[in-house]
């Protein structure tokens, strides 16, 4: 909109207008989310700019068609809670459109609604100061959208210019300030923005460089590309960690809603990424807003505006240590805000951002699979990664060019990983068949299930051998467990268990021999661990207990159950492969370390919580049921809660 001369016949920033013309979407709008108030305002602004300089007639028509056909649907969806910025900017864009001769033909049923929006804007103009201490950005920061009747003096503008010549670091407001004052510093600022942003001017400039780097690291991780940029990511996070570590205390309180949002977003990203990379840092610098009601109040009053900030604050609390009460409080506060957002019929209701919030709240971070999360992130072309944060909205992204390149790399990387996984799964299935286990006629074929669980837990770039040995171990355990539970006679169990002890298949036949051969092929070097597992199934197993009518105590049951769940049989050998430099004494330790014991107990208890109904029907032992037996009067819910 900025002219190059006083008679306004030449355009100063021609390249920016060309960018607008070339970046209209197929729907006819400008913006990532088609049906949001952000896109509605942006489209109207772009149509005005093109029309003013008499180019792109087809762009104008398509843009106007989009506005006129979608305005009612978009506005109705958000009518009860228009953001502060929209109440000012949208009426301003309508007035500016009419001023340059654009005829807007809104549906007649929308006229009363538009009048209401204009009325709300007038109330804001009448009640708010040009430069005030309200939580919102001041009215002057919306200079480009203020009506001609609103008297803004040249002195008001020049007194509030930043040192870099900008008006509240807003290129749009600064452009209006330059046209009103001719300030040379403002012109220099605009030229700098256009030059640095390749003609694609963001709503706010400049941004915090640390925040930009954090957003980039976050994007790389969410796309599954962090393994390709380990050195660069480490360099970024080391510097940011040092910067936060040296902060003794910083008063981050602000009455400006934009400043609060940006700082919250930055601190949440920093805490999560720094901790995820193994750095120890106190959360005291990151949850400064908790005890400041002047900060909490505008967050609760403007929940939609703070969606991204609260989402990242909530994610950061996934990495919580015992005794961190402020982190627990922050998690509770962020969840409360996010839950309210998902329940509202707001402008985010149909967007990927709202779905992202719902996903985050529904599925605990610890229970999600990175590989699947990455696919979902890749598939959502509107994935939210805030870099440019301004007075209008938090739905800002990496530059289109960079995002496209990262997306291409992420897709290629994902497909490459999938090809490896597919090849490994085919090998496991082939091995399962070649060893005769698919022809046994009983038990569960869990090859795909086991591989999926293992591959998602031990993703690339760890080598294939690790995934294969763990998957095959899990498959053999599944088949053997079914054999011991449902198929074999006591004599067959005795013979097989003794064969495992001798590690000799002599006198074995049928299913017993098939199981032994698969096992021998897989883990002959881990005889001791496998014998311990099979022996636990036999010597003091459920089968023997059932035959003898013996009911063990909970402690006796866990002593055997932690071994018979066989997690150590799977994990410990693979751990040696993951870290072949382990000292020999650690590999040959006679007693399980505490972490191993816990790793053996946890899956046993998780299994028993899920399977107590089935095992009660089958007359099998289960820790939940044993707890009820030892505690008369306890119901199943109490026992399940106790085990949890």
- What's residue 83's pLDDT? 78
Each residue's pLDDT tens digit, 320-372 = 988 999 999 999 999 999 998 888 765 555 556 778 889 999 999 888 888 88
Kindly give the parts of the chain with pLDDT less than 70: 1, 4-9, 33, 80-81, 132-136, 247-258, 345-352, 381-403, 442-444, 461-463, 523-530, 539-543, 546, 569, 572-593, 595-596
Cα–Cα distance between 404 and 410 in angstroms, integer? 10
Q: DSSP character for 28?
A: S
Q: Where in the chain is the domain with CATH 1.10.600.10?
A: 413-643
- Bond prior to 125 in cis (omega within 30° of 0): no
Residues 6+ apart with CB under 8 A from 122: none
At 60 the three-state DSSP class reads helix
Each residue's pLDDT tens digit, 127-145 = 888 876 454 678 898 999 9
Q: How far is CA 165 from the centre of its chain?
A: 37
Cα–Cα distance between 176 and 167 in angstroms, integer? 9
DSSP track, 502-544:
HT--TT--HHHHHHHHHHHHHHGGGHHHHHHHHHHHHTT-HHH
- What's residue 157's pLDDT? 92
- What's residue 560's pLDDT? 76
- What's residue 56's pLDDT? 85
- Global pTM reads 0.62
**Roughly how many angstroms between the first and final C-alpha of the chain, as a whole number?**
63
Which CATH number among 3.30.413.10, 2.40.30.110, 3.40.50.300, 1.10.600.10 corresponds to the domain 413-643?
1.10.600.10
- The fold of the 209-398 domain, in CATH, is Glycosyltransferase (1.50.10)
- What's residue 77's pLDDT? 78
The CATH architecture one would assign to domain 14-196 is: Alpha/alpha barrel (1.50)
Q: Where in the chain is the domain with CATH 1.50.10.160?
A: 14-196
- What's residue 385's pLDDT? 45
């Amino acid at each position: 909109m900025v002219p190059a001369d006083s008679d306004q016949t030449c355009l100063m920033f021609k390249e920016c207008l060309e960018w607008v013309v070339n970046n209209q979407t197929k729907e006819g709008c400008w913006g990532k989310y088609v049906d949001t108030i952000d896109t509605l305002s942006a489209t109207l602004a772009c149509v005005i700019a093109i029309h003013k300089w008499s180019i792109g007639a087809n762009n104008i028509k398509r843009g106007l068609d989009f506005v006129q056909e979608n305005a009612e649907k978009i506005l109705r969806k958000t009518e009860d809670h228009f953001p502060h910025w929209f109440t000012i900017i949208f009426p301003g864009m309508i007035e500016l459109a009419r001023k340059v001769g654009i005829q807007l033909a809104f549906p007649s049923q929308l006229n009363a609604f538009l009048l209401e929006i204009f009325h709300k804007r007038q109330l804001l103009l009448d009640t708010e100061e040009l430069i005030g201490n309200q939580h919102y950005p001041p009215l002057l920061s919306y200079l480009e959208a203020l009506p001609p009747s609103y008297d803004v003096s040249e002195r008001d503008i020049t007194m509030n210019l930043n040192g870099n010549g900008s008006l509240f670091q807003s290129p749009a407001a600064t452009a209006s300030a330059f046209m009103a004052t001719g300030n040379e510093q403002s012109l220099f600022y605009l030229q700098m923005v256009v030059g640095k942003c390749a003609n694609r001017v963001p709503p706010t400039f400049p941004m915090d460089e640390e925040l930009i780097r954090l957003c980039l690291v976050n994007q790389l991780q969410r796309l599954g590309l962090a393994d390709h940029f380990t050195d660069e990511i480490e360099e970024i996070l080391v510097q940011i960690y040092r910067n936060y570590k040296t902060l003794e205390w910083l008063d981050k309180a602000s009455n400006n809603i934009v400043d609060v949002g940006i700082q919250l977003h930055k601190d949440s990203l920093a805490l999560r990424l720094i901790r995820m990379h193994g750095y120890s840092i106190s959360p005291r610098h990151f949850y400064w807003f908790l005890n400041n009601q002047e900060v909490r109040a505008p967050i609760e009053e403007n929940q939609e505006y703070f969606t991204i900030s609260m989402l990242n604050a909530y994610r950061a609390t996934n990495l919580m240590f015992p005794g961190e009460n402020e982190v627990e409080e922050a998690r509770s506060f962020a969840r409360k805000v996010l839950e309210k957002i998902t329940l509202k019929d707001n402008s985010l209701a149909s967007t990927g951002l709202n779905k992202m919030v719902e996903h985050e709240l529904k599925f605990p971070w610890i229970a999600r699979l990175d590989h699947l999360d990455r696919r979902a992130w890749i598939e959502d072309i509107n994935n939210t990664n805030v870099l440019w944060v301004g007075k209008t909205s938090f739905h800002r992204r990496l530059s289109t060019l960079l995002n496209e390149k990262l997306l291409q790399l992420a897709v290629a990387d994902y497909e490459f990983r999938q090809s490896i996984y597919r090849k490994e799964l085919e090998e496991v299935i082939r091995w399962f068949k070649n060893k005769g286990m698919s022809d046994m006629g009983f038990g569960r074929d869990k090859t795909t299930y086991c591989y999926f669980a293992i591959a998602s837990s031990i993703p690339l770039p760890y080598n294939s051998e690790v995934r294969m040995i763990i998957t095959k171990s899990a498959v053999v355990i599944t088949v053997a467990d079914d054999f011991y539970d449902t198929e074999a006679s006591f004599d067959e169990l005795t013979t097989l268990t003794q064969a495992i002890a001798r590690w000799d298949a002599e006198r074995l036949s049928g299913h017993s021999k098939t199981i032994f051969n698969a096992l021998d092929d897989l883990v002959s070097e881990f005889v001791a661990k496998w014998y311990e597992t099979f022996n636990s199934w036999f010597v003091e197993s459920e089968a023997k207990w059932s035959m003898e009518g013996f009911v063990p105590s909970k402690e006796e049951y866990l002593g055997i159950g932690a071994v018979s769940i066989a997690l150590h049989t799977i994990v410990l050998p693979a751990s040696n492969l993951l870290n072949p430099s382990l000292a020999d004494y650690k590999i040959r330790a006679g007693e399980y370390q505490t972490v191993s014991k816990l790793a053996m107990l946890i899956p046993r208890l998780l299994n028993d919580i899920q399977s107590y109904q089935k095992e009660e029907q089958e007359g099998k032992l289960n820790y939940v049921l044993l707890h009820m037996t030892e505690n008369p009067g306890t119901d199943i819910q109490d026992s399940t809660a106790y085990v949890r």
